[in-house]
Amino acid sequence: MRVLIQRVAQAEVTVAGRSTGRISAGLLVLVCAMQGDDTEVARKLAGRVARLRIFRDDQGRMNRSVQDSGGAALVVSQFTLAADTRSGNRPGFSTAAAPDEGERLYLAFAQALREQGLQVETGEFGADMQVTLVNDGPVTIWMDTAERG
């Protein structure tokens, strides 16, 4: 799985003008399930995201997790994180999980974050979504489970 994490002061996702998820301080997590991913991968990655220490402590250092800071998570599916741009000008997405599997793993990831004690809001899988955010820092972190071996 691949995730792009942004520490935010606030974020919202809308579909056809209707808000499907909104948070104040916390994390915007863009999620892409890749071929070969499974529920265990989603659960482990959610745990890493929940414990990622990118929030400021009393000394202003990034030493607290979203759990520690009482923040929330807005989880949005984004298959374009699977983009292969090695050749040509049009990215390929063949390494992304099939849509039904991608949705199942996206939902498993969001549920695993809830099980970590986080308030979780979501987008709508497969929809044309508009995401607004105020990136805090800015802090943006990329994680790919394939890179952990």
Catalytic residue numbers read 78-80
Contact (CB, 8 A) for 37 and 44: no
- Residue 50 burial by CB count (10 A; 0-12/13-18/19+): exposed, middle or buried? buried
DSSP class of residue 36 equals T
6, 8, 15, 58 from 132: Cα distances, Å: 12, 10, 12, 28
Terminal C-alpha separation, the chain: 12
Report the b/e string of 108-122 with b at 16+ CB within 10 A: bbbbbbeebebebbb
Interstrand relation of 55-56 and 18-23 (parallel, antiparallel or unpaired): unpaired
